[in-house]
Amino acid sequence: MTQERQSQTPMFSQIDVSQGGPGVPGPNDLDAKHVAFEQTQLLRDILSAQDRQNEVLEELVGQLGAAQRQRTAELGQWKRANPDLAVNCRLAAEALSKVQTEFLGSLTEEISENCDTLMDGGFMLNEFVDRFGPRLAHLNGVLQVLTQLSSASNPP
pLDDT at 7: 57
Distance CA(137)–CA(104), nearest Å, equals: 12
Mean pLDDT of all residues in 149-156:
60
The domain in which residue 120 lies consists of 44-156
Domain membership flag for residue 96 = yes
Domain membership flag for residue 18 = no
Helix, strand, coil fractions of the chain, as percent rounded to 5? 80, 0, 20
- Residue 115 Rama label (left phi>0; alpha psi -120 to 50; beta): alpha
Domain membership flag for residue 94 = yes
Report pLDDT digits (tens) over 17-73: 555 545 445 556 778 888 889 999 999 999 999 999 999 999 999 999 999 999 889
**Does the global pTM surpass 0.75?**
no
Q: Is the pLDDT of residue 88 over 80?
A: yes
Domain membership flag for residue 86 = yes
pLDDT at 9: 60
Domain membership flag for residue 118 = yes
Domain count, the chain: 1
Domain membership flag for residue 133 = yes
